[in-house]
Chain A
Amino acid sequence: MEKVIYLEIDLCSGCGACVVACMDQNDIFPEKGQSALRRIYQIEKGEFPSANIQYVSAACLHCQDSPCVIGCPTGAISKCNRTGAVIVNKELCIGCHSCSLACPFGVPRYDLDEKMQKCNLCMERVEAGLEPACVRVCPMKALKFEFVNKVQREKELKFAGNILNAVHKTVGHTTK
């Protein structure tokens, strides 16, 4: 199993450091019309003053059974067996947008040459033993580069603690 980029959603403050790091790492020029391979979204629910405002840092999820890989007619998209990253070979991409029809998350973007570009999990960094650029700069440590089951274990542990607190609040310390 490979490490994945995991977003702890409650910690994300929408500062955009991950997006800037992504543009730096991948030499992206927004003034020319290129899109960063990671984006942030501000999601608002409810109304002022009790509005719930949350931020989401979104990029390719590098699915195991990737719909874009299946949907690509030229075999330009593949899954790297070393890092688990879903990557595009621009030499083979014909810019047909099949991947954007297949992707349920709206991830694929098209570069100035009309060919698909997406997050490649900073493969060159990962293979050198480094974290992806977005994870490295996240000031809130909301983005993590970790084995998914390890992250889930930590989350479950926190949840287990919360259950215990709730039980103690409602029934008190009755059990020994």
Chain B
Amino acid sequence: MPSPMKLREKKYLNGGFKTPSGKMEFMSKVLEKYVGKPGFEALPVYAPPKYSRESTPVLAQEYPFILNTGSRLPMFIHTRTFRLTWTMSLRPNHPAADISPVDAARLGLKQDDLIRISSPKDAIVVKANLTQMVQQGVIHMYHGHPEADVNSILEGDYLDPLSGFPGFKSTLCKVEKV
């Protein structure tokens, strides 16, 4: 019996893609109609995030770090395996934010020191995890911790203007030793 879950493959062979031209579009025919309105471009062009060193240099002086709440650890699938004691024990110093050893040295931080990560909206207190996995000037904080909910320090309307997706990987924050 064929699997009812099986998806049809290569649907584009009959009737093309679901775009106005029926082809794969490098320049969007849908977005082309709105060119001229703020934030709309037909070609995929880079625009700096709403809060960033490029868009808000004054704010970036007070909040110099890029906060990424969308980075992942291999043992956690979003928040689903986060609150189980077995998988939680794989990262025993939770909740902890990843910080570059270079930044940590500048702030006088040692492994597992408490830090306050603040945005203009709110702040959370977590431990510092020093690792080369993260670039200098960037903070990786993992979402899903009830005691330190990092997404609560993002503005509710901090969204991508086109897709409406929240800017989890591109906001500004500052880090202080507690």
Contacts and interface: CB of A to CB of B under 8 A. Distances in A.
Interface string B73-103: 0110000000001111110000000001110
A144 B82 CA distance: 28
A40 B134 CA distance: 20
Contacts of A53: 132-133
Contact of B135 (A16, A19, A44, A48): A48
Interface string A69-91: 00000000000000000000000
Interface string B124-137: 00000001111110
Contacts of B85: 29-31
Interface of A: 13-17, 19-20, 23-24, 29-31, 36, 40, 42, 44, 46-49, 51, 53
Contacts of B88: 30
Nearest to A35: B89
26 contacts: A14-B74, A15-B75, A16-B75, A16-B87, A17-B75, A19-B86, A19-B90, A20-B86, A20-B87, A20-B90, A23-B86, A30-B88, A30-B89, A31-B89, A36-B89, A40-B90, A44-B131, A44-B132, A44-B133, A46-B132, A47-B102, A47-B132, A48-B134, A48-B135, A49-B135, A51-B132
Interface residues on B, range: 10 to 19
B120 to A, nearest CB: 27
Among A30, A40, A53, find the residue whose CB has the most chain B CB atoms closer than 10 A: A30
Contacts of B131: 42, 44
B98 to A, nearest CB: 11
Given A17-B75, A23-B89, 10 more contacts: A15-B75, A16-B90, A20-B90, A30-B85, A30-B88, A30-B89, A36-B89, A44-B131, A48-B132, A48-B134
Interface of B: 74-75, 85-90, 100-102, 131-136
Contacts of B89: 19, 23, 30-31, 36
A53 B134 CA distance: 12
A133 to B, nearest CB: 13
Contacts of A20: 75, 86-87, 90
Nearest to A55: B74
A53 B101 CA distance: 14
A8 B135 CA distance: 28
A31 B92 CA distance: 10
A119 B87 CA distance: 19
A13 B74 CA distance: 8
Nearest to B74: A15
Among A14, A40, A48, find the residue whose CB has the most chain B CB atoms closer than 10 A: A48
A43 B75 CA distance: 17
Contacts of A42: 131
B74 A16 contact: yes
B137 to A, nearest CB: 10
A24 B100 CA distance: 34
Nearest to A44: B132
Nearest to A28: B86
